[in-house]
Amino acid sequence: MREQGKAIVQPASTEIMPEEYRSYIYSGEEIQNIPPTEWLLRGRLVKRGLAALYAPAGVGKSFVAVEAALCAALGEQFWGEYFAKDCRVLYFASERVSDVADRVKASCKRRGVVIPANLFIVGRRKPLQVEGEGEIIKAI
């Protein structure tokens, strides 16, 4: 905003922000209180968060993701680190859920284990559908 060639600086105010966005925006004071990141796998997979695995089609993303999910659910080693025991895993399938299920079944058969009860797969009606997933996470 300018008045006769002079800049007018307005103080920052969170009141101009829609309330729905307020919980995602942090002030300088609030930034001081944000806890440090907790890692499941140092520098790779964050605790209590979402992770996305992306690469060109056909290079093995689903294979890696299913293996990581199973290792987490079983408390096994993955990428040189062990997951904590009793880790609940929520896998959001961005492909046909039957394809993910087939990979999970095959990997469990190869390991000689049953599909762990602490592994959950969220199937989608449409690829990358996000509406309502917060409610799914809360329910699980």
> Please, are residues 67 and 60 in contact by the beta-carbon 8 Å criterion?
no
Cα 29 to Cα 9, 23, 38, 117, 135: the distances in Å are 21, 14, 21, 42, 30
Report the relative pairing of strands 119-122 and 89-92 from DSSP bridges. Answer: parallel
Predicted pLDDT of residue 2: 47
How confident is the model at residue 108, as a pLDDT? 96
Residue 122: phi and psi, rounded to 5, are -100, 115
Per domain, the residue ranges of the chain are 37-139
For residue 119, how many C-alpha atoms fall within 13 Å in the half-sphere facing its CB?
Answer: 21
Given a cut of 70, the residues of the chain with pLDDT beneath it are: 1-23, 124-140
